[in-house]
Amino acid sequence: MRIRIDLAYDGTDFKGWARQPALRTVQGEVEAALATVLRVPEAAVTCAGRTDTGVHARGQVVHVDVADDAVTASAGRSEDPPLAALHRRLNGVLPPDIRVRRVAEAPAGFDARFSATWRRYAYRVADGVVDPLVRNHVLAWPRPLDLDAMNAGAASLVGEHDFASFCKKREGATTVRALLDLHWEREGDLAVATVRADAFCHNMVRSLMGCLLTIGEGRRPPTWAAEVLAAAVRDPSVTVVPPHGLTLEEVGYPADAELAARADATRRLRVPGEEPADG
C-alpha cells in the first residue's frame, strides 16, 4: 500500500528536511515515528520538496510504501479504521513541532515528488514592529516597503525562464523553471509574498525575495528584477534572505487519472538527484 501523508512543521529547530546522521531533521523524525507505529525496521518516505534549515511547512506531502498487513496490525485494538488509527498514533509519537494533517491511501500512480504540478510558498516580512510571538516565522525588515514597486518587479519574473541568476547551481542540473505566480500583498502588519512554480531550484525563492525587497525599499528600480534575470548568472548583489520567513504552504497535483503520466513526464525532465525544492 502506498500512503499519502500531509504534514505541517515548524522548521526552527530542524536541520532541514533531509535525513542526516546525528542531526535532527524532519525526515528523520517522520521516518522514526512511522517505524515505531508500524512496528517495522524502517519506513522511507519521499517528499514533495525538501526544505532547508529553518524553513517551515503547512502543506508538505510525503508518500511511504508499506505492507497492507503492517497497517492493519498497527491499529491494534482500536475501533478506528487502520489509516485513521495510524494518523492518531503518529501524532502521539511525533514531537509537537511536527503534525500530521492527513493520512490516506494514495491513488494509483501517485508520487509525492514527481506527480506534483506546482509548489506554493509564502514569505512573510514585517516592515514595522515585529510581533515577538511570530518572530520565528516572519523576517524583520528595518525600512518601509513599497509593494507596488515590488509587484512591478515581480511581474517581469513570472513565466518560464532560466533562473540561474537566482539559484545555487548544481552540476548538470537545469535552472529553467515555470514561475506561475509571484506577488506581494498586505496581511495586517505584514508584507506577504506568494510564490508558486512547477518546482524550485536551490535558494531560488529566497533569492527572488532578496531582489524584490531591495526594490521595495527603493535601492533599485523595478526594472532591476528583469535585468538580473536576463543576465542568467548568479548576481552577488542579490541577497539570499534568511529562511525563517519562508513556509511551504501547498503542493498541487493533477486529477487521479493523470498522476502516473505526470510522474513519468517529470522524471524525464529532471536530472537524477535534483530536488524540486527551495531552502
**Residue with the three cell numbers 525563492:** 205
Residue 267 to residue 262: CA distance in whole angstroms: 9
- C-alpha torsion 183→186→190→192, nearest 10: -20
Catalytic residue among 6, 10, 52, 127: 52
Closest residue by Cα to residue 134 from 195, 192, 210: 192
Closest residue by Cα to residue 2 from 138, 102, 105: 105
Q: Is 131 among the residues known to form the active site?
A: no
| Residues forming the active site | 52
